[in-house]
Amino acid sequence: MHTITTVAELRRTLEKSRSADQRVGFVPTMGYLHDGHLALIAASQAQCDVTVVSIFVNPTQFGPNEDLSSYPRDFLRDEELCRGRCVAILFAPGAHEVYPIDFQTFVEPGDLAKPLCGSFRPGHFRGVATVVSKLFNMVQPDVAFFGQKDFQQCAVVRRMAIDLNLPIKIVTVPTVREQDGLAMSSRNRYLSEEERQRALAISRGLSAALDEFCSGERHVEKLIAVAKKHLEAVDRLQYLELIDGDTLKAADSPLHRSAALCAAAYVGSTRLIDNVILALPAQ
Ligand code: PAF
């Protein structure tokens, strides 16, 4: 595995793959890798000849009162995990490689960035769209892989790729969960044992609503009410919304198209997000 920290070296290394007509897969991460990231790597390796994993904790997607400075980091462990999975290139640029001095050009996503997390984390998706487009320019992958847990991020990135004519296929990989259902997240490590137990309310609420949906329930209010009962165990529910999977606007009731039930909640001081897809055949 090549561990690379500069764009110049990344381009040089990837030139060989490109001239051999190899398909380049890209897994952007902020490190502190878990099984969710490893599933993205596996998906890339199944579909591509060369897999590039990036590790960069992107300052522009954190708000002033968020956890940028305490965001979990363990580069050596991440490097070992990538080596163990036969990742071809681990790209770990420094802050100035990504944001040169006097940096002033951002990618501003539109309406998809406004609801859900966007309304609680102003500027978050501007930071995500900016860094992802920069990483796309650096890596120039054929395919890029994102986790479904970040449902809105997937929608914003997919839209950005279309709007900016990026010749990159965006693949969403299903959420990986702990055995008890908690969605894997680097932030889970902030949870105390007691909070970890209460955090299960999120996945349990979403999966109870999914069960109701699978039993035939189509009324949005009823599905939300089922999930909400479980979510009483969290400290602060930011949102629990049933949205159209394409527009991210409130889904029509009764449901007649596939939708996503999305939640964000604080357990202690940790903000967690999760979602389930309520899939209906296209009409
Ligand atoms: O999902 C993440 O880890 C980040 O938002 C991403 C896509 C790596 C951009 O910093």
Whether residue 52 contacts residue 30, with contact meaning beta carbons closer than 8 Å, is answered with no
The per-residue pLDDT for range 71-125, each reduced to its tens digit, is 999 999 999 999 999 999 999 999 999 999 999 999 999 999 999 999 999 999 9
pTM here is 0.97
pLDDT above 80 (res 283): no
- The minimum-distance atom of ligand 1 relative to the CA of 132 is 9
Q: What is the pLDDT of residue 225?
A: 98
Testing ligand 1's pocket by substitution, the residue of 40, 138, 153 carrying the most ligand atoms inside 8 A of its CB is 153
Kindly state if the Cβ of 172 falls inside 6 Å of ligand 1. no
Kindly state if the Cβ of 36 falls inside 6 Å of ligand 1. no
Neighbours of 147 (CB within 10 A): 23
CA of 266 to the centre of ligand 1 (A): 20
Q: What is the pLDDT of residue 264?
A: 98
Q: What is the pLDDT of residue 83?
A: 98
CA of 206 to the centre of ligand 1 (A): 23
Q: How far apart are CA 276 and CA 255, in angstroms?
A: 15
Mean pLDDT of 205-216: 98
CA of 118 to the centre of ligand 1 (A): 15
Q: 37 catalytic, yes or no?
A: yes
Testing ligand 1's pocket by substitution, the residue of 38, 41, 61, 71 carrying the most ligand atoms inside 8 A of its CB is 61
What residue ranges define each of the domains in the chain, with the CATH number in brackets? 2-173 (3.40.50.620), 186-276 (3.30.1300.10)
Kindly state if the Cβ of 131 falls inside 6 Å of ligand 1. yes
The per-residue pLDDT for range 163-199, each reduced to its tens digit, is 999 999 999 999 999 999 999 999 999 999 999 999 9
Tell me the pLDDT band of 281, cut-offs 50, 70 and 90. confident
**Average pLDDT, rounded, for the chain:** 97
Q: What percent of the chain has pLDDT over 90?
A: 99
Q: What percent of the chain has pLDDT over 70?
A: 100
